[in-house]
A and B are shown apart, each in its own frame.
Chain A
Amino acid sequence: MCRRSARSGANSLAFEDIGMSQGGAAAPALRPSRFRLLEPAMLLWVALIAALLVLVAAPLVKMLLISFEMQETGEFTFQNYLTAYGRARYLDALRNSLLLGLLSATISTVIAVPMAWAVSRTDMPGKGFTWAVVLAAFVMPPYLGAIGWILLAGPNSGWINVVWRAVTGATEPLVNIYTFTGMAFVIAMHSFPLVFIFVKSALDLISSEMEDAANILGAGTWVTMRKVTLPLVWPSILGGFILIFLETIALFGTPAIIGIPARINVVTTQLWQFFEDPVRVEVAAAFAIPLLLITIALIAVQKLMLNRKGFVSQTGKGGERREVKLGPWRWVLLGWCVSVALLSVGKPLIVLLQASFAKAWGRGFSLDNLTLRNYRFLLFEHDQAPQAVWNTLWFSAASATMAIILALLVAYIVVRKLMRFAGALGFLAMAPFVIPGIVLAIGFYAAYAGPPMSLYGSALLLILAFTARFLPIAYASSQAAIRAVHPEMEEAARILGSGRLHAIRKITAPLIKSSLLGGWLVVFIVASRELSAAIFLVGPRTRTMSVLLYDLTEQGNFEVVSAFGGILLFITMVIVGIGMKLVGRDFMLRRE
């Protein structure tokens, strides 16, 4: 039914356009150029619009519609909203999500801004190391960090607490990850790279003359940083803050792994509960609406702030770039970066690896505790794990390929302004950026899981959802790639007698190859660890690694969980390594 609505939407648009073009063709004497609209590119445009409607618009519209529908009968009702917001427990979840978002974003900002400043502007040593830390924290799936921190800071057997009790003789744990702050901390440990990337790229664009000008007028290092440098990148700090807030309120993995045992309910875990038997998609849809509205509103706020006149940073090189000399303070900053490295990547990774090779992780680092059993079990004996690895690989590859092809076509049409209304295509391609993954998943479930499409449990459902979810990433990198190729490059080929397609194949394609590969790899990586959307859409035979990992966590066997995490990390590292080799060291962290 929803499929019908999506298709009829696409069709009516297509008809309108064909109608227009025929109207133009009927009056060739007046506007002979209208004939051009009938060239094959027009059909491509229609096909792209249809694809984007299926991927982006239809699920959202369907979700909105069913939030006002009675289950079974489909009658119009407000009942779903009354149910979704009628219980204190559900409202608490909403409040918790907002608080969690604020807290994580605050911690991330506090962590990342000094790091970004240190790497971009100062003579702090160990900049390469800091980069590596940020990359590692970014690449490591957040739920793996959460599992690592359970091993580190679980109240009873967590490493930190065991050592603390042994050293001090105390009976109470030092730290407890199963708390609200604990959860916010773990989330921040994997989201701070966003603030770092935002702020660092903004700092990189500021000419050092801006700081020199303050120095020569009498401002020292700290006054300059406070009054000139930081205010100049304020929009980027805020942008990073908002993005982390939004990522956090839409995050499923960490709140499920830490929050559910700690009895802290947030919107995403509550949505998950609406999907337990009996599945109440209509109520979930109603409950997901605020997530969508908040996201759209904040992205709009951020755009407004960035557009404010006084903050348009005038970039421009001039003079030599001068690093701020910190004296002994550079060791303080390095200490900060090393601490972040240990907390975000170092310690969680060590305990995860230890557990994955251990018979029982609590017995510690001894030789007789060492075993490969966990890996062997998963790879050869587990009934779902090999299937999940295979699923993850080919779902990710398929959706990365689809997203890049779609994005490339759209970007080419938009950047080269090949058609009127090309902008609409670009808008649709970027739209999923403001749709939280979990909301998109509910939309996909609502639109395509049931009859007439009945995609539930099929690989196609997941691949389509991943494609839609990561389309903006693919689009951004395709757009940047095509922008970088001056149209005259193609025109030079065409004036020498090459057709448009020939010119694209011989000139444009080779030039954008490596950026596209970079985009493909990034989509592959984020798709391979995606949990928030996958958890709502997987069927018995389409479990991905992330979903299976979550299932294993629920069973509480941390050695096997860790080993599975190790396999996932290994795959990710191979892909990242290929990317660095082929595309360049910073292909993951480039801000598009």
Chain B
Amino acid sequence: MPRLVLSGLTKAYGKLTVVDRVDLSLEEGEFVSLLGPSGCGKTTTLRMIAGFVDPTGGSIQVDGSVLSAPGAVVPPERRGMSMIFQSYAIWPNMTVAENVAFGLKLRNLSSEDVRSRVREILDVVKLENLAHRYPAELSGGQQQRVALARAIVVKPSVLLLDEPLSNLDANLREEMRFEIRRLHDEFRITTVYVTHDQGEAMATSDRIAVMNAGRIEQIDAPHLLYTRPRTRFVAGFVGRTNLLEAQVEAGILLLDGVSLGSAGQAGLPALPHGEVLISLRPQAMTIHEAAPTDAGLVLEATILGRTYLGEAWDYVVQPLGTGLKLRAAAQPLEAHDVGRRVWLRIDPRQLAVVA
């Protein structure tokens, strides 16, 4: 049985529907991110799971029992979950140890148990020396660790994280991503993670649910999301891409009238007949100054412009005979002059048809 199931979950404020029939199911121990731009309904979804917001349609089940349905909502304090907030919400009037012990005390544990579990978890998050400090004396990263410890120590059925890293500076954010994943690997708590940062979602999650305008567009493992986006929105939101209108005629894939080769070629996804929209990642192309000898998807093109970004070149190329302008990435040493005739080779496995 899945741990957490959202079925047809909907939240409307009057005429405005902010979460629209969301279906999502998490297995025990799974880490799923809700990824999307601001206003896409991801935080509202999370707060409905927590019980802070009542749904107007659909239901939320944990271990088979319904916690939220319109008109029947179990309050947050009786859900056995825990949550990490954007502002951390560390209580400034309590020490680190008191913050962490708060949830344990409410579970009527003996003070001996409380003490030992607080000590253990502070060891895990490497705060054992700061147990008696007040939050105002801690750095942002340390406060974040207190929030993690406080949420994990109660062994919640589901752990919810609401943009937990958005208030940290860039270096710390990178470090905390791995910390969150490390803690997940250690405790295997079923986790829902809300973020607008795809890097965070990719680094931490087993699966990512991309949300847009209140709906889930696609749920997949991070690498599949990247290489095989299923919708125009996902293709554009996750990573950079070239969205191209193509035609499939008589088994041939045509790009603005120029043939890319047979649609049945190895590695290509199944292509329906007629007009299709395809997503071609800049990384899916390599640029060659001589014509590649082996078969495959190859186009002749002209370099229109280039930008050096340090870790890569960003080229703008135009396939011969078309008005298209494609972005293509290349390694730092692969410098090609503007105006030069080149051959583009396309990895068919990274070409996706989007709806």
- Chain B hits for A209, CB < 8 A: 85-87, 89
- Chain A hits for B95, CB < 8 A: 310
- Interface: A234 (CB within 8 A): yes
- Given A207-B87, A217-B150, A218-B107, A212-B76 contact (CB < 8 Å): yes
Whether B89 lies near A212 (C-beta < 8 A) is yes
- Given A220-B77, A319-B162, A207-B136 contact (CB < 8 Å): no
Minimum Cβ distance to chain A for residue B39 (Å):
13
- Interface: A64 (CB within 8 A): no
Interchain CA distance A320-B102 in the complex, whole Å: 23
Which one of A223-231, A347-355, A457-465 is at the interface?
A: A223-231
- Chain B hits for A210, CB < 8 A: 89, 91
Minimum Cβ distance to chain A for residue B13 (Å):
11
Minimum Cβ distance to chain B for residue A121 (Å):
14
Whether A309 lies near B106 (C-beta < 8 A) is no
Report the 5 A-B pairs with minimum CB-CB distance, sorted nearest first: A217-B103, A318-B87, A209-B89, A213-B89, A215-B76
Whether B90 lies near A314 (C-beta < 8 A) is yes
User: Which of A212, A227, A228, A309 is packed against the most chain B CB atoms within 10 Å?
Assistant: A212
- List 16 other contacts, CB 8 Å, given A209-B85, A217-B82, A316-B87: A207-B89, A214-B102, A216-B160, A218-B154, A219-B102, A220-B77, A228-B91, A234-B93, A309-B134, A309-B136, A310-B93, A311-B93, A312-B92, A318-B86, A318-B89, A319-B87
Interchain CA distance A213-B164 in the complex, whole Å: 13
Whether A227 lies near B102 (C-beta < 8 A) is yes
Interchain CA distance A218-B151 in the complex, whole Å: 11
Q: How large is the interface on B (under 10, 10 to 19, 20 to 34, 35 or more residues)?
A: 35 or more
Contacts A/B (CB < 8 Å), 10 sampled: A207-B87, A216-B77, A216-B79, A218-B106, A232-B92, A234-B93, A314-B135, A316-B87, A318-B87, A319-B87
- Chain A hits for B136, CB < 8 A: 309-310, 312, 314
Interchain CA distance A231-B91 in the complex, whole Å: 10
- On B, residues with C-beta under 8 Å from A are 43, 47, 50-52, 75-83, 85-87, 89-95, 102-103, 106-107, 134-137, 150-151, 154, 160, 162
Among residues of A, the one whose C-beta sits closest to the C-beta of B153 is A217
Whether B77 lies near A319 (C-beta < 8 A) is no
Interchain CA distance A232-B92 in the complex, whole Å: 8
Minimum Cβ distance to chain A for residue B70 (Å):
16
- Chain A hits for B94, CB < 8 A: 231, 310
- Chain A hits for B137, CB < 8 A: 309
- Chain A hits for B82, CB < 8 A: 216-217
Minimum Cβ distance to chain B for residue A386 (Å):
56
Interchain CA distance A444-B150 in the complex, whole Å: 58
Whether B83 lies near A231 (C-beta < 8 A) is no
Cβ-defined partner of A319 (8 Å) among B43, B80, B91, B93: B43
Cβ-defined partner of B77 (8 Å) among A219, A232, A310, A316: A219
- Chain A hits for B154, CB < 8 A: 217-218
Whether A231 lies near B150 (C-beta < 8 A) is no
Q: Which residues of A (297-319) have their CB < 8 Å from a CB of B?
A: 309-314, 316-319
Minimum Cβ distance to chain B for residue A16 (Å):
41
Q: How large is the interface on A (under 10, 10 to 19, 20 to 34, 35 or more residues)?
A: 20 to 34
Interchain CA distance A459-B44 in the complex, whole Å: 64
- Chain A hits for B87, CB < 8 A: 207, 209, 314, 316-319
Among residues of A, the one whose C-beta sits closest to the C-beta of B147 is A213
Whether B92 lies near A314 (C-beta < 8 A) is yes
Among residues of B, the one whose C-beta sits closest to the C-beta of A232 is B93
- Chain B hits for A316, CB < 8 A: 87
- Chain B hits for A312, CB < 8 A: 92, 136
- Chain A hits for B150, CB < 8 A: 213, 217
- Interface: A95 (CB within 8 A): no
Q: Which residues of A (308-355) have their CB < 8 Å from a CB of B?
A: 309-314, 316-320, 322
Interchain CA distance A317-B85 in the complex, whole Å: 11
Among residues of B, the one whose C-beta sits closest to the C-beta of A210 is B89
Interchain CA distance A316-B89 in the complex, whole Å: 9
| Chain A positions 233 through 256: 1 when the CB is less than 8 Å from some CB of chain B, otherwise 0 | 010000000000000000000000
Cβ-defined partner of B83 (8 Å) among A216, A223, A311, A313: A216
Among residues of B, the one whose C-beta sits closest to the C-beta of A312 is B136
Interchain CA distance A551-B89 in the complex, whole Å: 56
Interchain CA distance A207-B134 in the complex, whole Å: 18
- Chain B hits for A314, CB < 8 A: 87, 90, 92, 135-136
- Chain A hits for B80, CB < 8 A: 218
Minimum Cβ distance to chain B for residue A323 (Å):
11
Among residues of B, the one whose C-beta sits closest to the C-beta of A231 is B93
User: Which of B43, B77, B93, B151 is packed against the most chain A CB atoms within 10 Å?
Assistant: B93
Interchain CA distance A209-B107 in the complex, whole Å: 21
Whether A311 lies near B79 (C-beta < 8 A) is no
- Given A216-B50, A216-B76, A319-B106 contact (CB < 8 Å): no
Interchain CA distance A215-B53 in the complex, whole Å: 13
- Given A209-B85, A309-B136, A319-B86, A215-B91 contact (CB < 8 Å): no
- Chain B hits for A223, CB < 8 A: 106
Whether B77 lies near A212 (C-beta < 8 A) is no
Minimum Cβ distance to chain A for residue B269 (Å):
40
- Chain B hits for A311, CB < 8 A: 92-93
- Chain A hits for B134, CB < 8 A: 309-310
Interchain CA distance A319-B42 in the complex, whole Å: 12
- Chain A hits for B83, CB < 8 A: 212-213, 216
- Chain A hits for B93, CB < 8 A: 231-232, 234, 310-311
Interchain CA distance A18-B87 in the complex, whole Å: 52
